[in-house]
Amino acid sequence: MTIRHHLDIVAQDIRFAARGFVRTPTFTVAAVFAIALGIGAGTAVFSVVDRILFRSLPYFDADRLVSVAL
């Protein structure tokens, strides 16, 4: 099997999916909305986790800071 054959199969699958999406516009809108919502939620969660866990504080000698609470 050559790369050209695999690309032909992928192109055929894309055309098949496009025809299915045109036939069922309600499902298409729901699928696009679900994918967009998932990407947005994933991006938001990663942004929060990245800021809290991975980036250090913007202070000189941030590892020496302490928190005192009563």
Please tell me which of 23-27, 56-60, 66-70 the model is most confident about, judged by mean pLDDT: 23-27
Give the domain ranges of the chain: 25-56
Q: What is the pLDDT of residues 4-44, one digit of tens each?
A: 999 999 999 999 999 999 999 999 999 999 999 999 999 99
Question: CA angle at residue 24 from 23 to 25, to 5 degrees?
Answer: 110
pTM (predicted TM-score): 0.60
Residue 28: CB atoms within 10 Å:
15
